[in-house]
Structure 1
Amino acid sequence: MSNFHLRLVSAVILAGVALGLTYFGGAAFRVLAVAVGGGIFIEWCLLSGQTRHRTHFALMGVVASVLLLMVLAGLPPSTVLVALAAGIGLALASGLVSGQGLWGAGGIAYAVLPVIAASAIRGDAPAGLVAVLFLFAVVWATDIFAYFVGRLAGGPKLAPAISPGKTWSGAVGGVLFAVVAGLAVATVSGLRIGGLLIVSIVLLSAVSQIGDLFESWLKRHFGAKDSSNLIPGHGGVMDRVDGLVAAVIGLYLIGVAASGPNDPLAAFGSG
């Protein structure tokens, strides 16, 4: 099987699992989110060398596990966010004492914050399903069409020092198709179409691409091609969800600004 076909099969299976658990929502979706967050945390620690100091790594593992279990238990996002702030502070202190620097604290934030955001957005309500499907449509359209438009149109590189394959044409193409995909989900779901929604899609698409670039920078910084070899044809968990991590935080912040940290669904109807 060629690498392209391997990537395609893996992508279809992963998308099917993600969509199925998203449909059920609640505890099923939290299991998915926590599993992804745990994979991100482990890959981050391996990339950044946190495992070299056993005591520090053990402490990071306990902190991350407690936070993820809080999400899994369905505690209010505001409660978990307070605990996350405390966990980051503990990780910072441990990193300074152990000589591991800020990477442990960064890994906890990068792994746990999107899990909190995704779980809060999905929840148990039908509006949460619409919100997550909307997010998937925007991020997946951005990722797919940025790749194909960039390959077809070429042109100036977007960030050659970080990710030489990405182009400005691909970035713009990704945004345009994200708008189409996001509006399609919004229309089918009966959401009100307006300038604010379009601006939100553009911002989420841009944030998704920034998240992709950040993960590329991280791997380049530590001299790694992939975050791991867990997913056939795709590398690791971080390689697969880099744009989604950033976009889900962005969507959560939009929701928090509209209706608070525990029910960020004003734009998608009340649960």
Structure 2
Amino acid sequence: MSEGPLPVPTSDIRRTELRLRVISALLLVPAALAVTYVGGVWFALGAGACALILLREWSLIVKAQNARIACALAYGTVTVAVIAASAGEVAAGFALLLVATAALALSAVAMGQRHILWLAGGVAYAGSSGAVLVVLREGTAGLAVIVFLFGVVWATDIVAYFVGRRFGGPKLWVRVSPKKTWSGAIGGFVAAVAIGWLGHQVTGRAGMGVWLLFAAGLSVFSQIGDLFESALKRHFGVKDSGHIIPGHGGVMDRLDGLVGAGVLGYAVAALLTGSMVDPVGQIISMRGY
């Protein structure tokens, strides 16, 4: 009698997963940096495409993909919001996101359709992600801002992954993400601060404390974004947001930290300056950096 296939050792699975992660990163990182360097319409197209994929994955997670009218409104809203941001109509883009999110939420409550209510959250999540990235890239020192954002988020994510696997220890939030540890979170935070130090060394602009503070804040926001996505998937019993990226899962699985750092960082800058168009540029001008 056949005993069936032998189970694959966990160590082999982890090595395969890591190999796929590395290969995917080697392909995606240069592409992301190239589009960022070119900027303009190409960056807007990339940010818009990512936003629409985020919305697609969100709708699948919350099981709202079959609500065709609501989804059509959601996709249209996110698309127009990113176009508005790229055209400099930032306030109009965010106003549209707010109105569409509220309209979907109210109709969901009125009809008792919880999946539409969750879809409304996806409009705000995906739309703000795409619009914010475009606004940051189009602003003062936009290329440097986006590259710095990438560096902090990537350093946080990569070092947290390896430090967490190497040292383990107490879990960060076991109910939401059983694999994340405090050692990984701290390791990622330290790596992000190192990127802040590097930024100061390379540019020589602003004080060291400014770079370290910005890097530290973005790292925390990045990890909040990661935990938020983990909580969403845990709530709906989903392991990965998708399978589009080998070794990484879905686009949301890779951009959750970038969304957290980008959107929350932008919100803080906008609150500090009162500007939605170029809040980081306003900070640079006001402080003489």
Greater shift after overlay, 49-58 or 174-183?
49-58
Aligned counterparts of 2:196 and 2:29: Cα–Cα separation in 1: 17
Report the CA distance shift for 1:75/1:90 in structure 2 as closer, same or farther (over 3 A).
Answer: farther
What is the aligned partner in structure 1 of residue 196 from structure 2?
182
User: Between the two proteins, what is the percent identity of the paired residues?
Assistant: 42
Amino acid at match of 1:261: M
Displacement of 1:202 after TM fit?
1.3
Structure number with greater Rg is: 2
1:9 to 15, 18, 23: 23
Q: Report if the CA contact (8 A) 2:36-2:143 is conserved.
A: yes
What is the aligned partner in structure 2 of residue 191 from structure 1?
205
What is the aligned partner in structure 2 of residue 99 from structure 1?
112
Aligned counterparts of 2:230 and 2:240: Cα–Cα separation in 1: 9
Displacement of 1:268 after TM fit?
4.9
Pick 1 or 2: higher relative contact order, CA cutoff 8 A, min separation 6: 1
1:60-99 matches, cutoff 5 A? 60-72=74-86, 74-99=87-112
Q: Secondary structure at the match of 1:158?
A: strand
1:205-244 matches, cutoff 5 A? 205-244=219-258
Report the CA distance shift for 1:165/1:206 in structure 2 as closer, same or farther (over 3 A).
Answer: same
Instruction: Give me the TM-score of the superposition, normalised by structure 2.
Output: 0.86
Aligned counterparts of 1:120 and 1:36: Cα–Cα separation in 2: 15
What is the aligned partner in structure 2 of residue 264 from structure 1?
279
Amino acid at match of 1:265: V
- RMSD of aligned alpha carbons: 2.1
Greater shift after overlay, 98-107 or 130-139?
98-107
Report the CA distance shift for 1:3/1:120 in structure 2 as closer, same or farther (over 3 A).
Answer: same
What is the aligned partner in structure 1 of residue 217 from structure 2?
203
Displacement of 1:98 after TM fit?
4.1
Displacement of 1:90 after TM fit?
1.7
Q: Secondary structure at the match of 2:65?
A: helix
Structure 1 segments (4+ residues) deviating >3 Å: 266-270
Q: Could you report, residue by residue, the CA deviation over 1:5-25 in whole angstroms, capped at 9, with x for unpaired residues?
A: 222111121111110011111
What is the aligned partner in structure 2 of residue 31 from structure 1?
45
Q: Secondary structure at the match of 1:265?
A: helix
What is the aligned partner in structure 2 of residue 161 from structure 1?
175
Displacement of 1:117 after TM fit?
1.2
* Runs of 5+ consecutive residues of structure 1 not aligned to the other structure: none
Aligned counterparts of 1:238 and 1:56: Cα–Cα separation in 2: 21
Q: How many residues align?
A: 269
Q: Secondary structure at the match of 1:3?
A: helix
Displacement of 1:185 after TM fit?
2.4
What is the aligned partner in structure 2 of residue 57 from structure 1?
71
Aligned counterparts of 2:36 and 2:276: Cα–Cα separation in 1: 20
Displacement of 1:255 after TM fit?
2.8
Q: Secondary structure at the match of 2:179?
A: strand
Amino acid at match of 1:85: L
Aligned counterparts of 1:63 and 1:96: Cα–Cα separation in 2: 20
